[in-house]
Structure 1
Amino acid sequence: MAEQPMLKFVKIERDMPEKRDADIRREDFREIYAEYADAKAKEQASRCSQCGVPYCQSHCPLHNNIPDWLKLTAEGRLREAYEVSQATNTFPEICGRICPQDRLCEGNCVIEQSGHGTVTIGSVEKYITDTAWEEGWVMPIAPSAERAESVGIIGAGPGGLAAADVLRRAGVQVTVYDRYDRAGGLMTYGIPGFKLEKDVVMRRNQQLEAGGVTFKLDCNVGEDISFDEIRAAHDAVIIATGVYKSRDLAMPNGEAQGIEKAIDFLTASNRKSFGDDVADFDSGRLNAEGKKVVVIGGGDTAMDCVRTSIRQGATSVTCLYRRDRANMPGSQREVQNAEEEGVVFEWLSAPKGFTTDGDKVAGVMVQKMRLGAPDATGRQAPEVIENADYVEEADLVIKALGFEPEDLPTLWNTDGLDVTRWGTIKAEFTTGKTAVEGVYAVGDIVRGASLVVWAIRDGRDCAEAILQKFGAGETVMAAE
């Protein structure tokens, strides 16, 4: 009788891909995890319990069919595993790298709850699709017939690109407008290479372009082209701009030189990785080399900033967060990686202002906090501990406090685009439909700052809703 290929979690322990030594990886921006070898991927996939109610799948925003592609991987049927994986996910190799699996699929794995250690879902997902690229299984989009309808997408981040992929596969004519010179949004310019190497994103951009998606880059809506012009050129428009306006701190000396926004710091670093000329980096303004760096915030953007600072050669890197470790919003896996690389975390610490040397920042005035009684939601609010203030020396302070939406109706000089009290666009939950006829919105500009995987989900759902509205439609020619 052939050996049962699954349920091996009782005799095979969880084993992540090899992680490069911290002293080595802090010297470059390459990804920190090695690839699984084929045998190791099969072994780790075989730990899946194939449970009747797959919580990993139900807690994945895309509802990826995780048990099935784990089983196919364990059986050596890797091409089939790839086909199942990509059926629900536009960018599985990207999600495998940057999704917070510890909070989503892996965090809800049944065998994790029983004490056996979760299946390494993200690493297997990454392995499957990386292998698919290497083997040539990932093909350019080739619709069976071209359609007459046209859709304009504003924003080339994960939500916009996921929608473009679904629409183009159906033969719809798709044009993507983006303010940056490369597509990918925060996947290109926000997330550092040690989490997501840039060639991984660029090859997806190239695949979309080869499949007939038109990109109009360096195109700032409201300046280079009006929103009304885009609406007039297309049968439907999807707004997928993301949220790029940084939250700020109104504090004493907050305008001093050396206090920077996280998005500016990360974008400069990522541009350098492409070999671009970046004046603010070359001048030293957005370069942490030789500096005492303090990062304010506890989310994944803050983790990106502290780990980037280490790699740029900061003399010290400190992260201030006003709650404790258990209550921070960022990935615990990222905190561990940062600590291994030399980052110091000051928990229950909040800024109250900045000290200066002339017009330059010299330190952060820190007030120590404690967690008070839980509120109605059960979350404990930080409270100041009196007479416990101190100054954390700093040459560079990076504010990683999250992002807010820009005022699109004003920027685009358009009426009828309703927004919430938070400034996000009002749109139907599943379709992305807004109050303006033929205009849809997806991703962070609707949800507020969220995860790449949720933007992909929104983009795919919106594209399906648009296709349903178009109906059978009119095909203009058979695709070659």
Structure 2
Amino acid sequence: MTRKMMQFTRLDGKTPEKRGADERRDDFAEIYTAYAPEPASDQAARCEQCGIPFCQVHCPLQNNIPDWLLLTAQGRLEEAYAVSSATNTMPEICGRICPQDRLCEGSCVLEQSRHGTVTIGAVEKYITDTAWDNGWVKPVQPLRERDQSVGIIGAGPGGMAAAEQLRKHGYKVTLYDRHDRAGGLLIYGIPGFKLDKHVVERRTHWLVDSGVEIKVNVEVGRDISLTDLRQRHDAVLIATGVYKARGLGVPGAGLPQVLPALAYLTASNRCNLGDTVPEFESGLLNAEGKKVVVIGGGDTAMDCLRTAIRQGATSVKCLYRRDRANMPGSQREVANAIEEGVEFVWLTAPEAVLDQGGQVSAVRTVRMYLGVPDATGRQSPVPIEGSQFEEPADMVISALGFEPEDLPALFGEPDLPVTKWGTVKVDSDTLMTEMDGVFAAGDIVRGASLVVWAVRDGRDAAAGIHDYIQAKQKDTGDAGDIALAS
């Protein structure tokens, strides 16, 4: 049924129902149920259709959010999906894992006026899941097939986004990934309770049906060189992401029971995908029956905390050096973690990991206070002298973020230009490096960031690659060289 817009005056904002904490902490299924058609249309109809859509402005993809909210309220879901997917390669994934409270929903005019934001992410998920269920998500069929090919290193969100756009132009596209499944952090880094793996695998199969070749278990620098890829393809895109964990940097950090977050999450995701993981079977990467301490305050830390709860840890605590208001992670994720039994120890920082006989026994911690703001305006945490205490622990997970790997060494390509931070140096307009025909996008350029930014960068890189190849081929006037289809 068609709804009038601006229904925020009579309807409160309401997210889809969450499964109860007692139920959801016993499994890795997604915690939010799906919108039914009527509630989805009602929530979409709350949109004010404001003249300056700040939700769209603050979306990295500049998604046409008011337009597809209007179409959803009118029951025109196939059109809503067409609008949504025109700017977003994987809206069903962004609808699930984007921190909307920090982006589109946090910028909604209704949120700022205290009427409660439109539930943009949940409606986005509803639109695309409905599209999949009704067969509206069709494989890419380019208007023409080209002879040129592009090799993409990394089958994560940035690489997948670029692959889709390049196939729309008709290029032959090959994704190379060092893991045994495509998806990158989507498949191995994000737990199933936030992103069901079927959703990622469905998108991967769709890329294959669209003509993208995916080669897994291929590591550049070991199985193939960057030079080989440059000879094989007309352009190469580096979209590896960043996987090197930032070190904990305190005494005791080298103990076997001090784990990097990604190793811990990958083991859990592999087990849930049906793989056998020896380190999990041995108990090293399994939190069952253990007192777990997670150090960090971002979304990766939240993922580790909530995974440990589901694995049956006896206690799960988060040490964060600032307060809740200053956490970098989604407040929605913090609330979900608290509901599930996580305890947050605010304004604390680790000084050392203690052991007994080579086994972690506790984290020596110091209390902090927030001091004078730094140049960014953020208050710096300062230790309180004499406030040390010990937090008992059997397993410590370090979730302090990620840094780039040494790609010139990893690829055996010393000429690959990188910044002082180790990210790949590119032209900001074209995303091409100083190596002719070699482009880079996503976290390996901007540093550890959000999936939605990787998607944006992948799409931008595809546009840069298309322009580069056409300039090389002197074919820009060809009738087939049109803007990307939606």
**Please, what TM-score do these two structures have when normalized by structure 2?**
0.96
CA deviation map 1:136-182 (0-9, x unaligned)? 00011221221011100000000000000000111100011100000
Distance in 1 of aligned mates of 2:19 and 2:449: 29
Q: Which residue does 2:484 correspond to in 1? A: none
Distance in 2 of aligned mates of 1:376 and 1:152: 41
Q: Which residue does 1:466 correspond to in 2? A: 465
Paired residue secondary structure (1:268): helix
Distance in 1 of aligned mates of 2:358 and 2:396: 14
Distance in 1 of aligned mates of 2:117 and 2:429: 31
Residue pairs, 1:395-410, within 5 angstroms = 395-410=394-409
Are 1:292 and 2:291 matched, yes or no? yes
Q: Which residue does 1:339 correspond to in 2? A: 338
Q: Given the superposition, is the C-alpha separation of residues 430 and 19 from structure 1 closer, same or farther in structure 2, using an over 3 Å criterion? A: farther
Equivalent residues of 1:36, 1:127 under 8 A apart:
yes
CA deviation map 1:193-252 (0-9, x unaligned)? 000000000000000011111111001110011111111100000000000000012222
Distance in 1 of aligned mates of 2:250 and 2:434: 38
Q: Given the superposition, is the C-alpha separation of residues 276 and 475 from structure 1 closer, same or farther in structure 2, using an over 3 Å criterion? A: farther
Q: Which residue does 1:367 correspond to in 2? A: 366
Q: Which residue does 2:483 correspond to in 1? A: none
Distance in 1 of aligned mates of 2:430 and 2:283: 45
Equivalent residues of 1:430, 1:462 under 8 A apart:
no
Equivalent residues of 1:146, 1:475 under 8 A apart:
no
Are 1:199 and 2:198 matched, yes or no? yes
Paired residue secondary structure (2:372): strand
Distance in 2 of aligned mates of 1:84 and 1:429: 27
Q: Which residue does 1:329 correspond to in 2? A: 328
Q: Which residue does 2:131 correspond to in 1? A: 132
Distance in 1 of aligned mates of 2:354 and 2:146: 61
Distance in 1 of aligned mates of 2:166 and 2:173: 7
Q: Which residue does 2:48 correspond to in 1? A: 49
Paired residue secondary structure (2:445): helix
Q: Which residue does 1:20 correspond to in 2? A: 19
Distance in 1 of aligned mates of 2:8 and 2:191: 33
Equivalent residues of 1:323, 1:371 under 8 A apart:
yes
Q: Given the superposition, is the C-alpha separation of residues 257 and 415 from structure 1 closer, same or farther in structure 2, using an over 3 Å criterion? A: closer
| Post-superposition offset of 1:279 | 0.4
Distance in 2 of aligned mates of 1:475 and 1:415: 40
Distance in 2 of aligned mates of 1:241 and 1:470: 22
Distance in 1 of aligned mates of 2:403 and 2:307: 23
| Post-superposition offset of 1:41 | 0.4
Distance in 2 of aligned mates of 1:193 and 1:419: 34
Distance in 1 of aligned mates of 2:381 and 2:3: 52
For structure 2, the residue ranges without an aligned partner over 5 or more in a row are 481-486
| Post-superposition offset of 1:129 | 0.2
Are 1:81 and 2:77 matched, yes or no? no
Q: Which residue does 1:58 correspond to in 2? A: 57
| Post-superposition offset of 1:429 | 2.4
CA deviation map 1:303-331 (0-9, x unaligned)? 00000000000000000001111111000
Q: Which residue does 1:245 correspond to in 2? A: 244
CA deviation map 1:107-152 (0-9, x unaligned)? 0001111111000000000000000000000011221221011100
Q: 210-219 or 62-71, which moves further after superposition?
A: 210-219
| Post-superposition offset of 1:475 | 10
Q: Which residue does 1:220 correspond to in 2? A: 219
Q: Given the superposition, is the C-alpha separation of residues 475 and 239 from structure 1 closer, same or farther in structure 2, using an over 3 Å criterion? A: farther
Are 1:118 and 2:96 matched, yes or no? no
Count how many residue pairs are aligned between Structure 1 and Structure 2: 475
Distance in 2 of aligned mates of 1:61 and 1:402: 21
Equivalent residues of 2:245, 2:402 under 8 A apart:
yes
Q: Which residue does 2:301 correspond to in 1? A: 302
Paired residue secondary structure (1:284): coil
The one-letter code sitting in structure 2 at the alignment partner of 1:74 is A
Q: Given the superposition, is the C-alpha separation of residues 3 and 423 from structure 1 closer, same or farther in structure 2, using an over 3 Å criterion? A: closer
Q: Given the superposition, is the C-alpha separation of residues 220 and 475 from structure 1 closer, same or farther in structure 2, using an over 3 Å criterion? A: farther
**Please, what TM-score do these two structures have when normalized by structure 1?**
0.97
Residue pairs, 1:99-178, within 5 angstroms = 99-178=98-177
The one-letter code sitting in structure 2 at the alignment partner of 1:425 is V
Distance in 1 of aligned mates of 2:367 and 2:429: 43
Distance in 1 of aligned mates of 2:115 and 2:253: 49
Residue pairs, 1:415-430, within 5 angstroms = 415-430=414-429
Distance in 1 of aligned mates of 2:346 and 2:255: 25
Paired residue secondary structure (2:101): coil
For structure 1, the residue ranges without an aligned partner over 5 or more in a row are none
Paired residue secondary structure (1:153): strand
Distance in 1 of aligned mates of 2:209 and 2:196: 21
Distance in 1 of aligned mates of 2:243 and 2:212: 24
The one-letter code sitting in structure 1 at the alignment partner of 2:389 is Y
Distance in 1 of aligned mates of 2:123 and 2:43: 8
The one-letter code sitting in structure 2 at the alignment partner of 1:14 is G
Distance in 2 of aligned mates of 1:123 and 1:411: 40
| Post-superposition offset of 1:4 | 6.3
| Post-superposition offset of 1:3 | 8.1
| Post-superposition offset of 1:39 | 0.4
Distance in 1 of aligned mates of 2:58 and 2:206: 29
Distance in 1 of aligned mates of 2:216 and 2:76: 39
Paired residue secondary structure (1:373): strand
Q: Which residue does 1:91 correspond to in 2? A: 90
Distance in 1 of aligned mates of 2:376 and 2:399: 25
Paired residue secondary structure (1:145): coil
The one-letter code sitting in structure 2 at the alignment partner of 1:322 is R
